[in-house]
């Protein structure tokens, strides 16, 4: 199944600071936005709510 690109802002990513989820899924940084390859952005919802 194809993955969905979940784009987070720096502010959202800061909520994942020190979180293994963030360390595991960061692919690259581009223009202050952080890209996560996860099955669905909803998977991160409770981290960035």
Query: Which is higher by pLDDT, 26 or 8?
Result: 8
Exposed, middle or buried: residue 44 (CB in 10 Å: 0-12, 13-18, 19+)?
Answer: buried
Q: Minimal CA–CA distance to 26: which of 46, 40, 16?
A: 16
CA proximity to 2, closest of 39, 35, 44: 39
Phi and psi at 44, nearest 5°, equal: -95, -5
Residue 11: band (very low, low, confident or very high) from pLDDT cuts 50, 70, 90: confident
pTM for the model stands at 0.35
- What percentage of the chain has pLDDT greater than the value 90? 0
């Amino acid at each position: 199944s194809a993955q969905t690109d979940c784009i987070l802002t720096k502010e959202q990513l800061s909520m994942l600071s020190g979180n293994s989820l963030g360390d595991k899924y960061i692919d690259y940084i581009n223009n202050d936005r952080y890209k996560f390859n996860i099955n669905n952005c909803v998977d991160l919802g409770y981290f960035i709510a």
